C-alpha cells in the first residue's frame, strides 16, 4: 500500500558540511527516542554516506536490535522494482507499453477491460478494480485478505484474490492508485518469460544493481537479519496474519538501506534499463494533488522538482526514499512498524528544505 506522506522540497547538497549533518543526526535521534522509532535512517550524497542510524528492535521477543544491515519489508516500495522488471522486458521487445493485458491473460481475470495496456498498469491509469482499494478508506492494520495468507506464496496464486472486482473507469481516463495492477504486471512478466516473478526481479534488478540483500522473503521463515513487522510502536503483535506470506508485484520485498541506495545509483547510471527508459519512467503521467506529487511509471515524482520517490506502508511496514538526481542526494527512512517512518521522514524533509533555502 502507498504511504500518504508529503515531501517538502528538493534535497540539498549539504554545503554546510559535517556540523550540520551532526546536528541533524542528533535531532533525529532525539525524535526517534520520543516516538519509539524502530528502523534505520540514512542520507547519502553521491558516493558518500553522510548520516546512518539504526534504532529499536528487529525482534522484540528476543531483544534483537536493528542494525544498519537489517533487512526490512518495504511494502509498495516493491512497485519500483516491479516497474523496472517490466520495463526491462519492454526494452528487450518481449513486451510493449501498448501490449494489452488481455493478450497475455487469455480468459483469466475477465473483468479487466480488454483495452488495458502495460502502460496503463504501470501508471495507475488502468481503472481495474483493486483487491486492496485504498480509495475505500481501508485501515492497514485490518485483516484485508479474503484467503488464508499462507496460500499467497506465488504470483499465480493471486488470481484468486484479483478476480471479481469490476472496473472503476475506462482505461487511461484518470489516475487511481491500484495494487491489483502491479500484481497483474508481475503475472504478465511471468507468463511472457516462463520465469517466476521473484526470480525475474533478482535477475533483472537486484543483480545489475548489486542488491545482494534484497529478496522476496517468506514472513514465516525470515532469516536472522530480517526485521519482524509490528503493528504498533509497542507490543508483540506482528503482521504475519495481515499480509501474503510471500509478496508479489505490489509489495512484499525485503531490502536494506544500503541496497536502496544501490538501487538509486544503478537506476540513474543506466545499469538496470537504459537512460532513455529511465527518462521515460520518471516522465510525469499524472498529477496527484491530494498527495502533492506526480506519478510516472512505478515512481512518485515531486510536484515541482526533479526529486524521485519510492514509498510504502502496510501493517508493520513504513518506508520512504527520495533521490535528487542533480546532486546525487538520497534520504531513506525504513521502519518495521506500521507508521514509524513518518515522524522521522517529515523531520528529515523539513531539515533538507531548510538547508536548501540557506544555500
Q: What is the pTM of this model?
A: 0.93
H helices of the chain, in order, are: 18-35, 78-92, 102-105, 118-122, 159-162, 179-193, 197-201, 207-209, 257-268, 275-281, 341-358
Distance from C-alpha of 219 to C-alpha of 111, rounded to nearest angstrom: 31
> DSSP class of residue 210?
T
Question: pLDDT by residue (tens digit) across 13-53?
Answer: 444 455 567 788 888 999 999 999 999 999 998 789 999 99
Q: What are 348's strand-pairing partners?
A: none
Q: Which three cell numbers stand for residue 252?
A: 512484499
Per DSSP, the residues of 180-197 read: HHHHHHHHHHHHHHTS-H
Which of 17-26, 117-126, 309-318 shows the lowest per-residue confidence on average (mean pLDDT)? 17-26
- Grid coordinates belonging to 239: 503482521
**Mean of the per-residue pLDDT values of the chain:** 91
Give Cα 334 to chain centroid, integer Å: 11
Catalytically annotated residue among 38, 76, 88, 180? 76
Examine the residue annotation and report whether 76 is marked as an active-site residue of this protein.
yes
Give per-residue pLDDT as tens, 189-219: 999 999 999 999 999 999 999 999 999 999 9
6-42 core/surface letters (b: 16 or more CB in 10 A; e: else)? ebbbbbbbbeeeeebbeebbeebeebbeebebbbbbb
Average pLDDT over every residue of 43-72: 95
Q: Tell me what pLDDT residue 19 has.
A: 58
pLDDT of 358 reads 53
Query: How confident is residue 166, by pLDDT bands cut at 50, 70 and 90?
Result: very high
Amino acid at each position: 500500500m502507498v504511504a500518504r506522506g508529503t515531501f517538502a522540497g528538493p534535497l540539498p547538497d549539504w554545503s554546510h558540511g559535517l556540523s550540520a549533518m551532526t546536528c541533524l543526526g542528533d535531532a533525529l535521534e532525539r525524535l526517534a527516542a520520543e516516538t519509539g522509532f524502530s528502523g534505520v535512517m540514512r542520507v547519502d550524497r553521491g558516493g558518500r554516506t553522510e548520516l546512518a542510524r539504526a534504532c529499536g528492535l528487529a525482534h522484540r521477543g528476543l531483544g534483537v536490535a536493528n542494525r544498519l544491515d537489517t533487512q526490512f519489508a518495504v511494502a509498495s516500495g516493491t512497485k519500483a522494482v516491479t516497474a523496472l522488471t517490466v520495463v526491462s522486458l519492454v526494452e528487450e521487445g518481449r513486451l510493449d507499453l501498448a501490449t494489452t493485458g488481455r493478450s497475455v491473460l487469455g480468459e483469466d481475470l475477465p473483468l479487466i477491460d480488454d483495452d488495458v495496456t502495460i502502460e496503463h498498469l504501470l501508471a495507475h491509469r488502468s481503472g481495474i478494480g483493486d483487491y486492496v482499494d485504498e480509495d475505500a478508506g481501508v485501515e492497514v492494520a485490518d485483516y484485508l485478505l479474503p484467503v488464508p495468507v499462507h496460500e499467497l506464496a506465488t504470483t499465480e496464486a493471486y488470481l484468486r484474490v484479483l478476480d471479481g472486482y469490476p472496473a472503476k473507469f475506462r482505461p487511461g481516463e484518470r489516475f487511481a492508485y491500484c495494487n491489483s495492477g502491479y500484481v497483474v504486471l508481475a503475472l504478465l512478466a511471468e507468463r511472457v518469460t516462463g520465469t517466476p516473478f521473484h526470480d525475474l526481479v533478482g535477475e533483472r534488478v537486484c543483480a545489475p544493481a548489486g542488491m545482494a540483500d534484497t529478496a522476496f522473503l517468506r514472513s514465516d521463515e525470515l532469516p536472522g537479519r530480517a526485521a519482524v513487522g509490528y503493528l504498533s510502536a509497542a507490543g508483540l503483535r506482528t503482521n504475519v496474519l495481515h499480509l501474503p506470506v510471500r509478496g508479489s508485484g505490489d509489495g512484499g520485498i525485503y531490502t536494506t538501506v544500503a541496497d536502496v541506495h544501490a538501487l538509486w545509483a544503478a537506476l540513474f547510471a543506466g545499469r538496470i534499463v537504459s537512460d532513455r527508459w529511465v527518462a521515460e519512467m520518471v516522465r510525469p503521467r499524472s498529477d496527484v494533488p491530494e498527495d502533492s506529487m506526480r506519478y510516472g511509471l512505478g515512481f512518485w515524482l515531486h510536484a515541482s522538482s526533479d526529486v524521485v520517490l519510492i514509498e510504502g506502508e502496510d501493517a508493520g511496514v513504513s518506508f520512504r526514499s527520495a533521490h535528487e538526481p542533480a546532486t546525487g542526494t538520497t534520504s531513506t527512512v525504513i521502519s518495521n512498524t506500521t507508521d514509524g517512518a513518518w515522524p522521522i521522514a517529515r523531520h528529515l524533509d523539513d531539515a533538507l528544505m531548510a538547508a536548501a533555502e540557506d544555500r
